[in-house]
Amino acid sequence: MSRTSWFGSIRRKGFWNCEINESTEMLRVDIITIFPGFFREVFDYGIIRRARAAKLVTVEAHDLRAWTSDKHHMVDDRPFGGGDGMVLKAEPIFAAVESLAGASRREDFPEGRRVVLLSPQGRTFNQSLATEFAACQQLVLICGRYEGVDERVAETLVTDEVSIGDYVLSGGEPAAIVVVDAAIRLLPGALGSETSATTESFSDGLLDYPHYTRPTDFGGLQVPEVLLTGHHAEIARWRREAALAKTKRNRPDLLKG
Ligand code: 6GU
């Protein structure tokens, strides 16, 4: 049974804490990179570490060089037509995806398998795409270099080309970490409580409301009175209004859609 269909039924019936481990398939994440060492420790903390320990997900970084067939293990080459920089070669990337995902054309990947090229030319990553990725069985992430990746990878191999925002990184590696983090925390059982994933930023198109903890007076900076009253309806109203005000101030674009 696909994980997508399980989300709905588990949530509706309130089965949140049972059945998950036996019924939910694990998510497998494979990262293809020329810098596998980059990922040595990043998935060893917090929610991602817990999710891995609970067998909700496996994450592996693979060295693209392992799929080169020439004696110099060349992963890149000069661009046809001239210009600066080197271009990641198609051949090792196709071979890596073939061996990790069982096919090397986007039409041939089974349902539940997404092969993603991380590049500044991709469509912008967002919470909705994170949700789709979290519902997959396997996610193969190909880290591009900023100079470029042979376009045949985007044309025929991958199911998605994704960017994490309008700025240029020197490679797709930091973007892969962002994508993996956003997807893993949405796996059923990855967060401490069911509500934390649904009440926060973006799940309702607004930014999260402001949070405060002790002390109530921090060098003259006060916690809003209403939060100290225990008046649940008032507090909920204050939070809605504060979230809206903050969204207007920091992300007016979210209110125009
Ligand atoms: Cl996915 N890659 C690179 N190189 N730069 C980016 C990016 C990805 N997303 C935003 N900038």
Ligand 1, atom nearest to 122 Cα = 1
Tokens of 79: 């661009």
End-to-end CA distance of the chain: 34
Q: What is the model's pLDDT at position 25?
A: 81
For the beta carbon of residue 236, count every other beta carbon within 10 angstroms: 11
| pLDDT tens, position by position, 59-81 | 999 999 999 999 999 999 999 99
Amino acid at 34: I
How far does Cα 111 stand from its chain's mean position?
Answer: 19
Instruction: Convert 172-213 into a string of H (helix), E (strand) and C (coil).
Output: CHHHHHHHHHHHHCCCCCCCCCHHHHHCCCCCCCCCCCCCCC
- Give residue 23's pLDDT band: very low, low, confident or very high (50, 70, 90): very low
Ligand 1, atom nearest to 146 Cα = 4
How remote is the CA of residue 168 from the centroid of ligand 1, in Å?
5
Around ligand 1, the residues with Cβ closer than 6 Å are 118-120, 144, 146, 163-165, 167-169, 171-172, 175
What does the chain come to in residues? 257
CB burial of 168-197 (b: ≥16 within 10 Å; e: otherwise) equals: ebebbbebbbbbbebbbbbbbbbbeeeeeb
Amino acid at 86: M
- Looking at per-residue confidence, does 134 or 257 come out higher? 134
How remote is the CA of residue 24 from the centroid of ligand 1, in Å?
31
| pLDDT tens, position by position, 201-215 | 676 789 999 999 999
**Listed range (9-18, 49-58, 113-122, 246-255) with the worst mean pLDDT:** 9-18
10, pLDDT greater than 80: no
Ligand 1, atom nearest to 176 Cα = 1
CA dist 44 and 50 (Å) reads 8
Q: Please report where in the chains the tokens 């991958």 appear, as a residue.
A: 158
pTM: 0.89
Q: How far is CA 1 from CA 22, 27, 74, 114, 158, in A?
A: 12, 14, 41, 17, 24
Average pLDDT over residues 167-195: 92
Residue ranges of domains in the chain, CATH in brackets: 3-184 (3.40.1280.10), 201-256 (1.10.1270.20)
Q: Please report where in the chains the tokens 């401490």 appear, as a residue.
A: 192
Which helix (DSSP H) or strand (DSSP E) does residue 128 occupy? helix 127-134
CA dist 85 and 161 (Å) reads 21
35, pLDDT greater than 50: yes
